[in-house]
Structure 1
Amino acid sequence: MASGAELSAQGWFRLMVQSRLAPGLRGYGFIGSGHTFRASIDGYYAQVTLQQANAASTSYVRFTADLSVVRRNEWDEQLRVRPYYGSRPQPSAPGWSARIGELISVGGFPIGEMWWELDAGRPFESLADEVVSAVRWYGLPAMMEQIASARRGH
């Protein structure tokens, strides 16, 4: 493998995901690799997808976390009918979805858009820990509430 100084921003991002984000998310029951991680909870899929901003920069990557909850049998049926969807729910998939910034509040107000920036060649441990913490403290509770609400029939 190339040294960190030789990796592009995309390569550095992949390294951060493989070495820090994926293990951190797996610690909370998610499986997956690349940009998509999913947990099976009470008949639902709770999913975290790392979404990159479209940027031509080779020196940094901007990214956020998209969260979704889909009933397993509905998603499995969609895959049966539309196998080209792969492992990612599409915008038309039934269920709930939100960006992580919609779930984080400051002073009682959601911050809205939240993007992290990873600079190629810079240490990323604290950045990765921040992303995993945001999923743990804001994403997981929101996903669990959506699952509980759906099970109650609301």
Structure 2
Amino acid sequence: MWRRDTVLVGPSEFAAVKQRVMGESSPSDGHDLDGMAIDFDVYLWHSPMITEVAVHLTGDTDSLIMTTCRTAPGYPTLEIAAELERIWLRDLRYRHLEVHMITANRRAVRLDAVTQIAPDDFYVTAAIVAETARPATGEATG
């Protein structure tokens, strides 16, 4: 999905945009950041793919919100990535600007993002790590 205000990018592009936004504006804090953390918790729980959610405010401007999730069994990595991206774009990002990056391996899908509420206004940096469900010990791994 390529829109002027919504961009999925690779690592170097993501780092460059993130640094630009962080250098030109201030991080979210207080009630705004608390509200965003609550939104992460609520909207991720709405997904049938997700069985556990833990949201933490880090105090680190590089990733103000760190969220870890556990997925239900049976979902392939690509579906989990698409679901995290859908939730981020539809429910969590600010409308002015957002850039995100998705990485994955056999154990987890990670969405890193930065979003800004308005020009020259505050931003939020965040990471969502969805740990994929592993078969119980002794079960076939297919």
Please give the TM-score of this superposition, normalised by the length of structure 2: 0.31
Q: For the pair shown, which has the larger CA radius of gyration, 1 or 2?
A: 1
Please give the TM-score of this superposition, normalised by the length of structure 1: 0.30
- Tell me: higher relative CO, structure 1 or 2? Use CA pairs within 8 A at least 6 residues apart: 2
